[in-house]
């Protein structure tokens, strides 16, 4: 059986594959957006897809020279659809079965809003609710706790911004070429994060297995990584997990910290003295405080990751978080929810009918594509 860790490792080569055929993937959305006449972009997504969009957002906004929003389907329907008034809407659902994203697409259709949908599953119900549905290149990922799909969506959105920005004159050719080259080494950055997580867990397995509350901190694009970290740890290790920007963290949330808490502070790509100082202070309270950084100074609580450019640094940090969660969940066998919760799961189902069958089909395809040995 193919497991979460297998898909994280597969992300390394998948990012290379997506970069090689990037223009082919993004061209349909680039054309639709550039011809729309819209002067803003709004991405409507939830869960890991929203977190991926938040990671890509800084580069997207810089490349497009336009306002970029990332909102949940609920907020979009309630009020976020109003401003900016002339925005192009992109709804994202990797599974294609997310009922809240489908509801947002129905709202777009009812109000004649310019839009497109992104998915990894053309055969899913999302195709019945959108005029344009595009595949963003994930391929097969059968585990509910999506990881490879997060990496691929970040890469797709970044490349979309580069191509559309250059076409509209917001990004000059030299910078566009530099950014494209950056995406070609995203897989290498991802591999760095996996190696760092593997080494940390091997060295501190007992401390990381206490199932204490977890807090993740990051700024800018790394805020999206922190959001995804809190989600993944909640899903897989079943611990209360939170995320904050650096300054928000030390404006109250830090008051709960006590020995045993897991605190992961993701350094800025260029290095931040402020975040490094916060990490040093928190590490004096709990041994399981780590600073994830590309600029280590040799301190015990630092975890070094490598990235050749700031634009691909989030891929390294993201892979680190994903792989650490997968290792802890494997060690603790914490994948299943409490039986009482499992018994009422149908009461708040978030997927359209047919989702379970689609997962079984993905599992069958994964066994064919990757082989049973991939999950051994």
pLDDT in tens, 26-39: 999 999 999 999 99
Percent of the chain topping pLDDT 90 = 83
Give pLDDT, residue 373. Answer: 40
- What is the full DSSP assignment across 20-46? HTHHHHHHHHHHHHHHHT-SEEEEE--
Give the whole-angstrom CA distance, residue 124 versus residue 91.
Answer: 14
Instruction: Specify the DSSP class assigned to residue 337.
Output: P
State mean pLDDT over 352-376. 56
Here the tokens at position 107 are: 């709202």
pLDDT of residue 254 exceeding 50: yes
- Helices 173-183 and 148-167 sit at what angle, rounded to 10 degrees? 170
State mean pLDDT over 158-163. 98
pLDDT of residue 103 exceeding 50: yes
Give pLDDT, residue 107. Answer: 97
Q: Give the pLDDT confidence of 312-332 residue by residue, as tens digits.
A: 999 999 999 999 999 999 999
pLDDT of residue 88 exceeding 50: yes
Here the tokens at position 189 are: 């950055």
State mean pLDDT over 188-205. 97
Q: Give the pLDDT confidence of 257-288 residue by residue, as tens digits.
A: 999 999 999 999 999 999 999 999 999 999 99
State mean pLDDT over 77-87. 95
pLDDT of residue 374 exceeding 60: no
Here the tokens at position 149 are: 């799909």
Give pLDDT, residue 372. Answer: 46
pLDDT band at 169 (very low <50, low <70, confident <90, very high): very high
Give the whole-angstrom CA distance, residue 84 versus residue 320.
Answer: 35
State mean pLDDT over 296-303. 96
Phi, then psi, of 68 in degrees rounded to 5:
-125, 125
State mean pLDDT over 344-373. 63
pLDDT band at 143 (very low <50, low <70, confident <90, very high): confident
pLDDT of residue 347 exceeding 90: no
Q: Give the pLDDT confidence of 106-116 residue by residue, as tens digits.
A: 999 999 999 99
Q: Which residues of 167-185 are buried (b: 16+ CB within 10 A; e: fewer)?
A: eeeebeeeebeebbebbeb
pTM for the whole thing? 0.94
Domains of the chain: 4-184 (3.40.50.10490), 189-332 (3.40.50.10490)
Strands (DSSP E) contained in the chain are 40-44, 67-71, 87-93, 115-119, 133-135, 214-217, 241-244, 262-266, 289-293, 302-304
Q: Which of 74-83, 91-100, 121-130, 365-374 has the lowest mean pLDDT?
A: 365-374
Give the whole-angstrom CA distance, residue 177 versus residue 219.
Answer: 26
Mean pLDDT of the chain: 92
- Helices 47-64 and 148-167 sit at what angle, rounded to 10 degrees? 20
């Amino acid at each position: 059986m193919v497991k979460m860790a297998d898909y994280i490792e597969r992300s390394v080569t998948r990012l290379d594959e997506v970069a090689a055929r990037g223009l082919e993937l993004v061209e349909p959305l680039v054309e639709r957006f550039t011809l729309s006449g819209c002067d803003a972009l709004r991405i409507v997504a939830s869960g890991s897809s929203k977190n991926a969009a938040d990671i890509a957002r800084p580069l997207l906004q810089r490349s497009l020279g336009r306002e970029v929003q990332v909102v949940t389907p609920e907020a979009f329907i309630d009020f976020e659809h109003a401003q900016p008034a002339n925005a192009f809407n992109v709804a994202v659902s990797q599974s294609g079965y997310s009922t809240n994203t489908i509801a947002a697409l129905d709202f777009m259709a009812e109000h004649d809003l310019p839009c497109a949908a992104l998915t990894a599953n053309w055969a899913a119900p999302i195709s019945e609710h959108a005029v344009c549905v595009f595949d963003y290149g994930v391929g097969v990922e059968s585990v509910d706790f999506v990881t490879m799909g997060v990496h691929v969506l970040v890469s797709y959105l970044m490349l979309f911004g580069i191509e559309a920005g250059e076409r509209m004159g917001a990004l000059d050719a030299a910078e566009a070429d530099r950014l494209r080259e950056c995406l070609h080494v995203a897989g290498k950055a991802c591999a760095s994060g996996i190696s760092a997580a593997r080494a940390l867990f091997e060295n501190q397995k007992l401390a990381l297995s206490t199932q204490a509350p977890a807090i993740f901190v990051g700024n800018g694009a790394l805020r999206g990584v922190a959001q995804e970290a809190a989600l993944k740890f909640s899903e897989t290790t079943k611990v209360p997990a939170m995320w904050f920007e650096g300054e928000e963290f030390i404006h109250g949330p830090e008051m709960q910290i006590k020995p045993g808490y897991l605190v992961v502070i993701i350094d800025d790509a260029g290095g931040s003295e402020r975040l490094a100082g916060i990490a040093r202070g928190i590490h004096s309270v709990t041994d399981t405080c780590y600073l994830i950084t590309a600029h280590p100074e040799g301190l015990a609580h630092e975890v070094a990751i490598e990235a050749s450019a700031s634009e691909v640094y989030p891929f390294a940090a993201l892979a680190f978080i994903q792989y650490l969660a997968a290792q802890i969940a494997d060690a603790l066998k914490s994948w299943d929810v409490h039986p009482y919760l499992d018994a009422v799961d149908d009461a708040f189902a978030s997927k359209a009918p047919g989702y379970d069958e689609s997962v079984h089909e993905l599992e069958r395809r994964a066994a064919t594509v990757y082989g049973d040995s991939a999950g051994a």
